[in-house]
């Protein structure tokens, strides 16, 4: 796994963050150093998915990146369940394919290059995962995407989200961001790396409040909406159709 040094040197112009070849190469290191409890959340996603993935259906991972979620899911999910990964980054999908092959995944899987800002097609899905992905979908398109997932999800199907979120109050939002940057410092990101990445993500990663995400799911018709994880400005939500 290559170490993430993308923002370590002073960049001349600030460009928006992109899931390109450079990021793909270091993504697995970047995500564990940037997202608190990332590996535990992956384990929890697999644990929950196991209980809702029905035989002979599919699990969709939207924004599957390098395939970490599938690799975890493969250890607990029945072989008759297919995997479908959607991502708009061809570099990520190529890496995902390599990782799934080297993990020895034998089940049927399909990796699809598609933009979640546009319409999405899912087939025979009992579980849909969006782990750190909805936050990158344009705000105006988010509700439409969730609506489309709701309509196409099998009855009784499960949606599992994990998102960076804003605090409900400006006061604690500020504090949570401070604690979050301390987390990054503890993981050996320096001040310039933190500042440059924040700037690059500014127009790209747009977090909602946890409550806003819950209300969006509720308004669409999902039920049994639960917060399964919360750490300052990160939250996991699970819900059923
Ligand atoms: C932070 S990563 C997700 C991490 C991954 N789910 C995991 O658990 O390790 C976000 C992913 O969403 C993809 N993505 C961002 N915007 C997208 C869009 N509009 N359509 C499809 N994929 C998108 C990116 O290419 C990237 O691979």
- 25-47 pLDDT, tens digit per residue, is 999 999 999 999 999 999 999 99
**pTM for this model (two decimals):** 0.97
* Nearest-atom index, ligand 1, CA of 115: 20
pLDDT, tens digit, 9 for 90 and up, residues 95-136: 999 999 999 999 999 999 999 999 899 999 999 999 999 999
pLDDT the model gives residue 9: 82
Q: How many helices (H) and strands (E) does the chain have?
A: 8, 8
pLDDT digits (tens, 9 = 90+) for 174-229: 999 999 999 999 999 999 999 889 998 999 999 999 999 999 999 999 999 999 99
Atom of ligand 1 nearest to the CA of 116: 20
Is 41's C-beta closer than 6 angstroms to any atom of ligand 1? no
Beta bridge partners of 208: 165
Please choose from 17, 87, 95, 137 the residue to mutate so as to test ligand 1's pocket, defined by most ligand atoms within 8 A of CB.
Answer: 87
Q: Does the C-beta of 72 come closer than 6 Å to ligand 1?
A: no
pLDDT tens-digit map of 140-172: 999 999 999 999 999 999 999 999 999 999 999
CA of 42 to the centre of ligand 1 (A): 15
Nearest to 197 by CA among 23, 37, 6, 13: 6
pLDDT higher than 90, residue 1: no
User: 């993500």: which residue's tokens?
Assistant: 201
**DSSP conformational letter for 163:** E
Q: Looking at residue 10, what is its pLDDT?
A: 83
């Amino acid at each position: 796994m290559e170490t993430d040094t993308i923002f370590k040197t002073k960049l001349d112009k600030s460009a928006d963050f992109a899931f390109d070849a450079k990021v793909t190469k270091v993504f697995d290191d970047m995500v564990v150093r940037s997202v608190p409890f990332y590996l535990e959340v992956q384990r929890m996603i697999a644990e929950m998915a196991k209980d809702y993935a029905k035989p002979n259906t599919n699990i969709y991972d939207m924004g599957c990146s390098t395939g970490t979620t599938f690799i975890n899911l493969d250890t607990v999910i029945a072989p008759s369940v297919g995997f479908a990964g959607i991502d708009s980054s061809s570099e990520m999908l190529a890496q995902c394919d390599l990782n799934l092959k080297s993990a020895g995944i034998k089940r049927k899987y399909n990796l699809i290059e598609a933009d979640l800002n546009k319409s999405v097609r899912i087939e025979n899905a009992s579980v849909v995962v969006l782990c750190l992905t909805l936050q990158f979908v344009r705000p105006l398109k988010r509700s439409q995407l969730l609506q489309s997932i709701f309509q196409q999800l099998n009855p009784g199907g499960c949606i599992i989200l994990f998102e960076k979120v804003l605090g409900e109050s400006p006061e604690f939002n500020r504090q949570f961001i401070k604690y979050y940057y301390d987390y990054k410092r503890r993981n050996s990101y320096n001040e310039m790396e933190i500042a440059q990445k924040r700037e690059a993500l500014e127009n790209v990663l747009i977090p909602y409040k946890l409550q806003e995400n819950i209300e969006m799911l509720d308004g669409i018709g999902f039920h049994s909406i639960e917060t399964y994880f919360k750490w300052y400005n990160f939250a996991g939500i699970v819900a059923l159709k």
